[in-house]
Structure formats: C-alpha cells, structure tokens
Structure 1
Amino acid sequence: MLFYAIAILVIVMDQVSKYLIRTYIDINESFTLWGIQLTHIENRGMAGSLFQGYARIFGVVAILFVIGVLYFRRTRETKGALIDSSLGFLVGGAIGNGVDRLLFGQVTDFIVRSGGILNLADHAIEMGGLLLIIYGIVTWLSKRNQSL
C-alpha cells in the first residue's frame, strides 16, 4: 500500500506543479517562491538536457522501467517500508516525467539548483535512488550480522 500511495502522491504533485508552471509562467521566466529559485524551461531530452529530441523514446523507457519494477515487486521477496518507499518514489518520478514525454514530447522543469533545473519527478527519482542505496546497505549489514 505504501508503494502505491507514494507513487500516486508523486505523480499528482508533479503533474499539478508542471501544469501550474506551464499555465502561469512563460518559458525562461524566473522568479523566487519561498526562497526557492524557479525558472520555466522545457526539456526535449533527458537529465542535463542531454539527447535533445528523444523525449518520446525516454517516455517508452519510463514505461519499461515501471513494468520492470512492478514485475520485480511481484516476483521477489523484498518487502518492507524502506524498499516500498524507494520504489514508490522511483515509479512516481518515472511516470511523472514519462507522461510529459509521451504527451508533450518534452518535460517541464522549473526548480533551479546547482547542476541544473529539475522538477518534482526528478527529485522523487533522486529520493528513490537514495532510499534504494540505504536499503541495500541495511540489507547487506543485516545479512552480514546473521552470518557472524
């Protein structure tokens, strides 16, 4: 249940925020909200604006990733809040950006930080990756302690 709750929350928050940015902020317009620098850009590629013009291909990759995660969840014995949270953030982020890529051929980015301009789906993917690393470390330490 946690997996689906996080994934749905990420998708909704991501899509609503992108809709608001696309509707009310012109492309390349910048402003500050609650101390966060925001600039509306449209990215037709992937992270760091690499591979411009291939957004729809990356949309298909996002679909395959989500199918892979759902298959993994069904066939593996990995259970628990940490892995469910990790995969929920990863899937929610992949779907959030995948929707943009497949519907619009580009992804709306707007959160400025060192290293680029991102969106909520990108941040969810980063959170999911971090939680996955933590899960891997915790699992490894647990197995190591059981074998001692």
Structure 2
Amino acid sequence: MQFYVIAILVIVMDQVSKYLIRAYIDIDEKFTMWGIQLTHIENSGMAGGLFQGYARLFGVVAVLFVIGVLYLRRTGEMKGSLINSSLGFLVGGAIGNGIDRLLLGQVTDFIIRSGGVLNLADHAIEIGGLLLIIYVVMTWLKNKH
C-alpha cells in the first residue's frame, strides 16, 4: 500500500504543480516563492535539455520502466518499507513526467537549481534513486554478515 500511496501523491502533486505553472506563468518568466527560484520552461528532451524533440520516446521508456517495476514487485523478491518508498517515488516521478511527454510532447519544468530547471517528478526520481542506493547498500551489508 505504501508504494501506491507515494506514487499517487507524487503524480497528483506533480501534475497539479505543472498545471498551475502552465496556466499562470509565462514561458521564461522568473519569480521567487517561499525562497525558491522558479521559472517556466518546456522541455521536449530529457534531463538538462538533452535530446530535444524525443519527449514521446522518453514517455514510452517511462511506461516500460513502470511495467518493469510492477513486474519486479510481483516477484516479491524486494520487500520492506525502504524499497516500497524508493519504488513509489521512482514510479510516481516516471508517470508524472511520462504523462507530460506522451500527452503534451514536452515536460513542464519550473524549479531552478544549480544543475538546471526541474519539476516535482524529477525531485521524486532523485529521492527514489537515493532510497534505492540506501536499500542496496543495506541489503549488501546485511547479506555480508
């Protein structure tokens, strides 16, 4: 259940935030909210603006990733709160950006960071990746003894 709750929350928060940015903020308009620098960018590529114009292809990759995670979860090999959280963030982020890529042909980014401009789905993927690394290290340490 934890996996689904996290994934659904990520998807909803991501899609609502992107809708609000698209509806109320002009492209390239910059502003600050709660001390966070924001702007409105539409990205038809992947992270960092690489491979512009391939958004729908990356949307298909996101669908395949989600199918892979769901299959992996069915096998029951990876269990526990940490891996459920990790996969929930990863799947929620993949679906959030996948929706944009498949329906709009581009992803709405708006959170300015030192590495570029991201969105909530991107941040969820980062959190999920970090939790996955922690899970793998903890599993390795546990199996080592």
Q: Who is 1:107 aligned against?
A: 107
| Aligned counterparts of 2:39 and 2:139: Cα–Cα separation in 1 | 40
Q: Who is 2:16 aligned against?
A: 16
> Which TM-score applies when normalising by structure 2?
0.99
Query: What letter matches 2:24 in structure 1?
Result: Y
| Aligned counterparts of 1:30 and 1:53: Cα–Cα separation in 2 | 24
- Structure 1 spans left out of the alignment, 5+ residues: none
Structure 2 counterparts to residues 34-113 of structure 1, below 5 A = 34-113=34-113
Identical columns (%): 81
| Deviation at residue 76 of structure 1 after TM alignment | 3.4
Query: What letter matches 2:116 in structure 1?
Result: G
Query: What letter matches 2:49 in structure 1?
Result: S
| Aligned counterparts of 2:61 and 2:76: Cα–Cα separation in 1 | 22
Q: Secondary structure at the match of 1:32?
A: strand
| Deviation at residue 13 of structure 1 after TM alignment | 0.1
| Aligned counterparts of 2:49 and 2:37: Cα–Cα separation in 1 | 19
Query: What letter matches 2:3 in structure 1?
Result: F
Q: How many residues align?
A: 145
Runs of 4+ in 1 over 2 A off after TM superposition: none
Which stretch of structure 1 is more off in the superposition, 73-82 or 19-28? 73-82
Q: Who is 1:118 aligned against?
A: 118
1:50-69 alpha-carbon deviations (Å, 9 max, x no partner)? 00000000000000000000
Q: Who is 1:127 aligned against?
A: 127
- Structure 2 spans left out of the alignment, 5+ residues: none
1:12-71 alpha-carbon deviations (Å, 9 max, x no partner)? 000000000000000000000000000100000000000000000000000000000000
